[in-house]
Structure 1
Amino acid sequence: MNRLSIASTARALFGLLALSATTTFAAPGEHPDIDLRVKACTGCHGAEGRAAADGYYPRIAGKPAGYLYNQLVNFRDGRRQYPLMSGLLQTLTDDYLQEIARHFSALDLPYPPPVRSTQKASVLAHGERLVREGDPARDLPACASCHGSALTGVAPALPGLLGLPHDYLAAQLAGWKSGIRHAHAPDCMAEVARKLNAEDIQSVAHWLSSQPVSQGGKPAAVLEKPLPIRCGGVTEAAR
């Protein structure tokens, strides 16, 4: 294990201890103060959920509340695999997770400028084409057709794709493709990711991570068009 991995694990373990302490000493039906409760989250996801510097813990501040809640439930219930997250959440109720999701969703914090890509123009062009247009020949919908034309997500349950590091984006797409990551059925992202090859995944991740965040990163209120594919965990309000 390298020094960076050790540091990340130590932060997560500290967060696990902090959350365990707050839940242990809370009276039945009583939640501790929200700032204390989310220390476990910010231990890995960075101050106020702005993202960690190592490229694997994503920004959670300002994400749609429905999306954040779905991910917390997915970790707790085993659809997403990461032992530290599962350990943090396994005893928490739906109401508790909704409060945490609403807290981070309400944060309105600026995004840092993107890291300039060193990839070839052809790699970035391929990624942009898949994001903006998809690939009809492979029945592959554009990322923008679900995540919004500004790529900042759609309330209440579709996340933005900008302001995320390359390593995180590539790892999540690969996880869906390999079957490591799952979402509520029907799992639309798994269906999409299975149609991507390694070059596609890298190109999309490189292009997205190199783009500035538009409209302050705020998700759109409604979809511009109906979703091109059925997606579990997306409420009727977002369809």
Structure 2
Amino acid sequence: MNKKPFSCMSGLMGAAALVLTAVMSPAALAQDDAAAIERGKNAAMVCIACHQANGGGMSIPGGESWPRLAGQDRDYLVAQLKAFKDGTRDNISMKPFSMMLNDDQMMDVAIYFESLPFPDTTNVTVNADEALLEHGQKLVEHGDWDRYIVSCQSCHGPGSQGVGHFFPNIAGQHEGYIAAQLKHWQDGSRKNDPQDLMGSIARRMNDRDIQAVSAWLAKQEATSKE
């Protein structure tokens, strides 16, 4: 006779515990992130020579480009570090740095860079005239279905601000870096995208398309996921 009331009371207590846990979780997560950010900041000292202290990266006209990491999704950054480490993404500069980090350190570094504010792209200068920028905007926002080029926003979300850890925030990313990655997917030297999504799109793009998309995205403002 006592089993049913006892079971109900247990259920109520369990539900209350879940509610209490849910209420406490954000603060606990914030504390965990704060500690991870501090550890990540120390571990990321080797990163700033290329990616800059503010995580903004840099691009040398006609030369190499290092991507913006500031504000990028933590899980995406970890996935890229692991890809550099295991060789599924080939980069002669990143390989030795990724080998220095274990999984916990990778996450700390990723949380640190994710916590940094997006750099201002208001005055970014790109290698494109208005006609080319218009072409880039069309491809980013609408694609070109006659050539089966899917719009960037179809995967990277509204404003190309990123979706989860498969599709990074590419708004405000460096023009040279975006162009280089599209060409790497085009020639098959980069293959760590899910189901060859980027490879299949990049192979349908010509040099003008790549230049246009890269320039237009570089001038866009990245915004917080919050």
Q: Which of 40, 46, 51 is residue 46 of structure 2 equivalent to?
A: 40
Does residue 100 in structure 1 map to residue 109 in structure 2?
yes
1:32-67 Cα offsets, whole Å, 9 max, x none, are 943321101112100131223536011101101111
Task: Say what the alpha-carbon RMSD is for the aligned residues.
Answer: 2.2
Alignment correspondent of 1:51? 57
Query: 2:109 is aligned with what amino acid?
Result: I
- Say if 1:64 and 1:219, in contact at 8 Å, map to a contact too: no
Helix, strand or coil at the partner of 2:134? helix
Match of 2:182 among 170, 173, 182: 173
CA apart distance, 1:91: 4.7
Q: TM-score, normalised by structure 1?
A: 0.70
For the structure 1 residues 116 and 89, does the alpha-carbon distance in structure 2 shift closer, same or farther, using more than 3 Å as the test? Answer: closer
CA contact (8 A) 2:41 2:109 kept: no
- The yes-or-no answer on 1:148 pairing with 2:157 is yes
Closer/same/farther in 2, CA of residues 184 and 210 from structure 1, 3 Å limit = closer
* Distance verdict in 2 for CA 1:187–1:96, change over 3 Å: farther
Higher percent of residues as helix: 2
Residue of structure 2 equivalent to 1:129 = 138
Identity in percent: 34
For 2:212, the aligned partner's letter is S
The answer to whether the 8 A contact 2:43-2:105 is kept is no
**Residue-by-residue CA offset, 1:56-104 (whole Å, 9 max, x unaligned):** 0111011011111111111111122221210111253323212211221
CA distance in 2, matches of 1:197, 1:186: 21
Select between 123-132 and 90-99 the one with higher mean Cα deviation: 90-99
Matched, 1:63 2:72: yes
Larger Rg: 2
Name the structure 2 match of 1:230.
none
Distance 1:210 1:135 in 2: 21
- Superposed displacement of residue 184, structure 1: 4.6
Tell me by how many angstroms 1:121 deviates.
Answer: 2.5
